[in-house]
Amino acid sequence: MLKFIKPNWSAPSQVKAITTTRYGGYSNSPYNSLNLAEHVNDNPSTVIANRLLLKQSLALANEPTWLKQVHSTELVTANFSNYNCVADGAFSTQIGEVCAILTADCLPVLICDQAANCVAAVHAGWRGLANGILENTLHCLKQPAEKILVWLGPAIGAQVFEVGEEVRDAFVNFLPQAEQAFKISRDGHWFADLYLLARQRLNAQGVTNIYGGNFCTYTDSQFYSYRRDNITGRMASLIWLT
């Protein structure tokens, strides 16, 4: 049986959203079992079977708009014509079109507005965050910041996400208060808090209705973690309008 993480947020009932765990699919070790990514050298037919199982379990009217993620700031409209498009986020204003992103330590960000006019799913690793993917998403949605709701899904925790000086500089040079999200681990290295960094960037845009941010993919075995396992699968975070 598939096991999902559902956002604990005040989104309207027309907004549906979930993040998968690694449980309930067909993939063999080291991808066991619900790997949803095509690019990690899992058996392609197994990935297709896992994706079909996910679609059927959620009774989705349409196939999710799966993307080729490259740590960019690009977003596309969720629809069939953009399937496997190179981008790191998808948004939609249409009922039944499913926004989807894949992660295994990077931060999945799900977004909607209070009136259920739009939804978005964003792949926010440190590069995407630093380069402005959240700001770009808000621009695409064209909604007042006070009407936006955000859920921060399962990502690597601040106690284990060690980065170099260049990562810290990329954030602090853009937003000085980002210094609060880094704690020194050893000479030239820092533990980075992806959740806090995302909140800071959203707050700077006037977004304050932010939920989630209490997971750690590295320490919680129900999640895939690239940094923990290196060869591993990917979870999916989906959001759509009904």
Phi, psi of 105 (to 5 degrees): 140, -40
Quote the pLDDT of residue 211.
98
pLDDT score at 1 = 83
What's CA 74's distance to the chain center, in Å?
14
pLDDT score, position 179: 98
The pLDDT assigned to 67 comes to: 98
Are 89 and 101 within 8 A, CB to CB?
yes
Is the overall model pTM greater than 0.85, yes or no? Answer: yes
**CATH annotation of 4-241:** 3.60.140.10
Calculate the CA 51 to chain-centre distance: 17
Residue numbers of the chain with a pLDDT score lower than 50: none
70: amino acid identity, one letter: V
| pLDDT of amino acid 130 | 98
